Chains A and B, each alone.
Chain A
Amino acid sequence: MPKRVGMEVSIAVAETVGLCNADVISAYPITPQTHIVEHLAEMVANGELDAEFIPVESEHSAMSACLGSSATGARTFTATAGQGLELMHEVLYVASSMRLPIVMAVANRALSAPLSVWGDHSDVMAVRDTGWIQIFTENGQEALDNIICAFRMAEDKNVLLPVMVHIDGFYLTHMIEPMLLPDRVDVNKYLPPNDYPLPLWPEKPVAMGDFAPPVLYSEAKKAQEVAMGASKKYILQHWAEFGKQFGRNYHPVECYNCENATTFLFTMGSFSETAMTAVDELKRKGQNIGLVRIRLWRPFPYAELREALKNAETLIVLDRALSSGLGGPVCSEVKSALYGQPKMPKIANFIGGIGGRDITPEGFIEIINRGIEISHGTKENEFEFYGVRG
């Protein structure tokens, strides 16, 4: 029987990794992910979780250790945030191109400078190209559910790609809220043991991570990209199975109040819930705004996003990160997805909620109204900063 608990989301995530029977955890602590890995270390130390906890000297080493452990077929987990995700950057590409089913929780955090431990999406935006499957979560329940789904998706022999589960730093990691912690029996029913097809094993030796001259590299990349594209089908399948078993359904794109809407707000992650409160408030006043969120960030859900926005006349995109010299990174991807569609909405891009700056429901109402205003006029800039003084 699942248990309704009031606990910190980080602790619930760690407990869920325990329920999934992870074999190896190699991680380096960094705010705001620390509670996840500290709790996992405790669970291993007191025998609650039969796993190897490998403390390492940096995030680069953490991901490198994960490569090794995953290559032997061990169920491997790690977690990081912000600068930590950046420090392991080069190894991320290796994990995906070596097709290793590592699961990583990312406690989304702003990137320095100035130094910020607070939440935003700049760390995520820096790893868009790394070849990992990436899932956004909006509350504690989604965070722990998607850890379970992540192992299932990553280790599926038809997928074999590492998965990042994005959990907003502080806003989710440090939040005590109600969640249903599943039963171990139910998790075991959903999640079969890891069975990596070509593991490093003395009795059947293989070589991994070899050199590829120009004559082979393109073929290797095509093979990898075909797998990334094909993974979508299995991701949907595993979400559907999860929904059938646990009663909670997840989709590549999520819509709130979208029926009959022609003006849409776009958000990602936990701020979406605050945005829902704003949408409800506006609806009470007679203004109908649809809220669209991407949950499956990679592989990018072109079809579902186009479907969700097919009636959009106005679209307001909130980016919680800035691609310097370009504008909002999410907005640029959304625009590219909508390019050439029969009906392309007018789009306003806001950069807000960066470095841990809150956006209240009232703030979202301001963003929506300002967005409507500027999307219909001539825009001076590709984007506007929200809430910046001066």
Chain B
Amino acid sequence: MAKSESEITWKDLNIGCIVTEPGNASAYRTGAWRSQRPVLDTNKCIRCGLCYIFCPEGCIKLDEKDQYFKADLYHCKGCGICAKECKPKAITMVEEEE
């Protein structure tokens, strides 16, 4: 959207506030909410995909180039479930830097 929320006038709204850009919730940078981020040690990773399965936000995706499962840091909220479920303990939660 071109305008920020506080700039929108009543005339700008669609009827019934219908959102014609479906799925635009993905534009929210939920990654800004986290205080810890997952860091992957590729030496320990066995590519089992459990982190991908368990991530509640669908933020972990397969990187086609190196075939490792990686967190999408734009959206990752730092919940730590991937680190908890990782069998070989390849994922560590690390404090977000300033």
Contact = CB atoms under 8 A, between A and B. Distances in A.
A–B in direct contact per CB < 8 Å: yes
B41 to A, nearest CB: 39
A100 B16 contact: yes
B19 A215 contact: no
A210 B6 contact: no
A97 B14 CA distance: 11
Contacts of B20: 198, 206
Interface residues of A, number: 23
Contact of A219 (B8, B22, B23, B24): B8
Given A205-B22, A215-B6, A210 B17 contact: yes
A115 interface: no
B18 A219 contact: no
Given A213-B5, A215-B5, A215-B6, A220 B19 contact: no
B65 interface: no
Contacts of B5: 213, 215-216
B17 A220 contact: yes
A294 B8 CA distance: 38
A25 B9 CA distance: 36
Interface range on chain B (Cβ under 8 Å from partner): 10 to 19
A219 B10 CA distance: 4
A216 B15 contact: no
A198 B17 contact: no
Given A215-B6, A223-B10, A160 B18 contact: no
B4 to A, nearest CB: 9
B19 A206 contact: yes
Nearest to B13: A223
A208 B11 contact: no
Given A206-B19, A210-B19, A198 B14 contact: yes
A215 B13 CA distance: 13
B13 A219 contact: yes
Given A213-B5, A215-B5, A206 B10 contact: no
B22 A198 contact: no
Interface string A190-223: 0000000110000001111010110110111011
Contacts of B22: 205-207
A198 B17 CA distance: 11
A223 B6 contact: no
Interface in A51-98: 97-98
A166 interface: no
Of B12, B13, B24, which is in contact with the most chain A CB atoms at under 10 Å from its CB? B13
Contacts of A160: 15-16
B9 to A, nearest CB: 6
Contacts of A218: 10
A226 B10 contact: yes
Contact of A99 (B9, B15, B19): B15
Contacts of A97: 16-17
A206 to B, nearest CB: 5
A220 B18 contact: no
A143 B9 CA distance: 39
B15 A208 contact: no
Interface string B7-46: 0111111111111101110000000000000000000000
A19 B18 CA distance: 31
Contacts of B18: 98, 198, 206-208
A227 B11 CA distance: 11
A220 B13 contact: yes
A318 B97 CA distance: 72
Contacts of A219: 8-10, 12-13
B27 to A, nearest CB: 13
B19 A216 contact: no
Contacts of B15: 99, 160, 197-198, 223, 227
Contacts of B23: 205, 207
Nearest to B5: A215
Contacts of A206: 18-20, 22
Contacts of A205: 22-23
A333 to B, nearest CB: 26
A213 B28 CA distance: 15
6 contacts: A160-B15, A206-B22, A208-B16, A212-B17, A219-B13, A220-B17
Given A99-B15, A160-B16, A206-B19, 6 more contacts: A98-B18, A99-B16, A205-B23, A210-B17, A218-B10, A223-B11
